[in-house]
Structure 1
Amino acid sequence: MRKSRRMCYACIRTIFGLLNGLIWIVGGGVIGVAIWLRISYNGYVSLLPQHELLSLDSVVLMGGTVLFVAAFLGCSGAWFKSSCLLISYFILVAMLCGAELVCGILGFTYSETFSTSLQQELLTGIQTHYNTTEHYTGITLAWNHIQHQLSCCGVHHYEDWFNISAWPGNSRVPHSCCIPSFQYMDDCGQLEEVSMWFPSGCYQKVQIWFKERLYLVGIIGFFIAFIQLLGLVSSMILFCGTRRRAGFKTYKAVKCQSAVL
């Protein structure tokens, strides 16, 4: 019976250690990608310049750091059989699960409010920061890329680009708003000929794109939840096993000392 318990403990410890070792490597890679994004693109996908912490590189860096730290605690705790590291891992992952649950509930409850606020923030970014200074080059590149890839113009429609800070008093749009058949014309965005521009806004296009891939989001969410649950259960089993072994060794040491005396 004791032998089978030892084998089960060793198996769980090995799988837990290897899994967290893999996640640790992935976390390091994610941090590297975030640093590369920051250096190479200077906050390329920061569509919300008023909230620079929400830029892609910042979000990826935070996510990668959490993965790296949690996996390091788990891997080290399993390798060194440290109850302190294992309980730290358990607490961190439990806090992550709680934060994800709270964010999910808030997102579902206040989805309309978040949607309205996000649209307003995107409009503010277009009107005050697009193509103004070198500091906001990222938002210019991001909007040009999105409009070209999704065949859209502005947040709601092309009129969002009229009279912005980059061209006050002008009813024009960026060249990325031009329909492909007119993109050979360098000034098609300045001709005030709406038939040359994409009629749909990008916010609606992004919503459609996201809804078409909800199943993928569900699969990823289920996988993350499974990994977290597995980590919580495994770390607690290892923690209990480590404490039991430590107690057994202490008992044997005390017994030996008593016998000598």
Structure 2
Amino acid sequence: MGANKDKKEPCGTVCLKYLLFAFNFFFWLAGGAVMGVGIWTLGVKSDYISLLSSKTYAASAYILVLAGVIVMVTGVLGCCATFREQRKLLLVYFILLLCIFLLEILAGVLAYVYNKQLNEELKQNLRETMTQKYKQSSQEHVTRAVDKLQQEFKCCGSNSSSDWAESAWIRTRDAAGRMVPDSCCKTLTEFCGRRDHPSNIYKVEGGCITQLEKFILDHLKIIGGVGVGIACVQVIGMVFTCYLYKSLKETY
């Protein structure tokens, strides 16, 4: 299939080419999946990122997006290198595979490390973020994230609804007599936050910290699993590439 046809290709070389082509096709699909997980984290769940002081969670998602894009480009390059029998292209392909492998291992490691420090970070920062930044000027993204958090996970306050007594916003006229934000209410209506009785607002044990921690931990497992899982599959591709490179070198 390449320019050199003076020698008949050994059966092993032909098999390796088709195996590597099949690998690249599935690798290309996997790249789309990796990129999709990263985009989902940054897009659909981006509001919650603003509630975290550390950028590790976002960084691991950005790494997955970058790795996914490179994977898809590399998959196409791998197919071209395989059927054109270009050893230089195969070498470039191998180097790109190695770079992607390292990126995805990095994403997995970041997810694992952040998994260990998440609880302490939330304990130290979430309460202050919710009470001091909610409904403050230039903090609309935090307000949106807090409202979404309390409604989606049916919770109120960082540890409990009583946290809102320390809110900078609750103490102002703008709160209009509310004791908690309206997003704490079981039935969301304007000014429903004026009544903080358990029949009206969410009283979840552990507050929103517990709910947000569980959500992020579950998602970190997805990020880490996808990153490390695809990286392990790439080892197969790198082995196929090395054998094909060696086989073409011996044949031509």
Give the TM-score normalised by the residue count of structure 2.
0.71
* 1:128–1:164 contact (8 Å) kept in structure 2: yes
Query: Structure 1 pair 55/87, CA: closer, same or farther in 2 (3 Å)?
Result: closer
Partner residue, 1:254: none
Query: Which of 136, 139, 146 is residue 139 of structure 2 equivalent to?
Result: 136
> In 2, are the aligned partners of 1:175 and 1:188 still within 8 Å (CA)?
yes
Structure 1 counterpart of 2:234, from 228, 231, 241: 231
- The aligned residue for residue 6 of structure 2 is none
Q: Say yes or no: does 1:46 pair with 2:53.
A: no
State the identity as a percent: 15
1:256 aligns with none
Point out which structure has higher relative CO (alpha carbons under 8 A, 6+ apart): 2
Within 5 A, what are the aligned runs for 1:62-73?
62-73=63-74
- Gaps of at least 5 residues in structure 2 are 1-8, 83-88
Give the match for residue 243 of structure 2: 240
**Correspondences of 1:96-245 after superposition (within 5 Å):** 96=103, 98-100=105-107, 102-103=109-110, 106-107=113-114, 111=116, 113-133=117-137, 135-168=138-171, 172-180=179-187, 183-184=188-189, 186-191=190-195, 193=197, 196-200=200-204, 201-207=207-213, 217=221, 225-245=228-248
2:71 maps to a residue whose letter is A
Q: Are the equivalent residues in 1 in contact too, given 2:134–2:142 (CA < 8 A)? A: yes
Give the CA deviation at 1:84. 2.7
Conserved 8 A contact 2:119-2:213: no
SS at 2:47 equivalent: coil
> In structure 2, do the counterparts of structure 1 residues 209 and 50 end up closer, same or farther at CA, with 3 Å as the change threshold?
closer
SS at match of 2:202: coil
- How many angstroms apart in 2 are the aligned matches of 1:223 and 1:63? 9
The size of the alignment, in residue pairs, is 232
Q: CA RMSD in A?
A: 3.8
Name the residue aligned to 1:83: 90
Structure 1: stretches of 5+ with no match in the other structure = 250-261
Q: Alignment partner of 1:196: what SS?
A: coil
Q: Secondary structure at the match of 1:230?
A: helix
Contact 1:152 1:202 in 2 (8 A): yes
Equivalents in 1 of 2:13, 2:38: separation in Å?
Answer: 37
Give the Cα–Cα distance (whole angstroms) in 1 for the partners of residues 161 and 73 of structure 2: 49
* Change over 3 Å in CA distance of 1:162–1:194 after alignment to 2: farther
Evaluate the alpha carbon distance shift between residue 69 and residue 123 of structure 1 in structure 2; reply closer, same or farther with a 3 A threshold. same
Retained in 1: the 8 A contact 2:186–2:201? yes
Offset at residue 59 of structure 1 (A): 5.6
Which amino acid is the alignment partner of residue 177 of structure 1?
Answer: C
1:161: Cα distance to partner? 1.8
Q: 1:207 to 1:151 in 2, by over 3 A?
A: same
CA contact (8 A) 1:156 1:202 kept: yes
Shift in alpha-carbon separation, 1:226–1:121, aligned structure 2, 3 A: same
The whole-number CA distance in structure 1 between the counterparts of 2:135 and 2:56 is 20
The SS at the match of 1:155 is coil
SS at match of 1:168: coil
Structure with more of its chain in helix, by fraction: 1
What's the TM-score, normalizing by structure 1?
A: 0.69
C-alpha distance in structure 1 between counterparts of 2:126 and 2:91, whole Å: 45
Q: 1:157 to 1:31 in 2, by over 3 A?
A: closer
Cα distance, 1:235 vs structure 2:
2.2
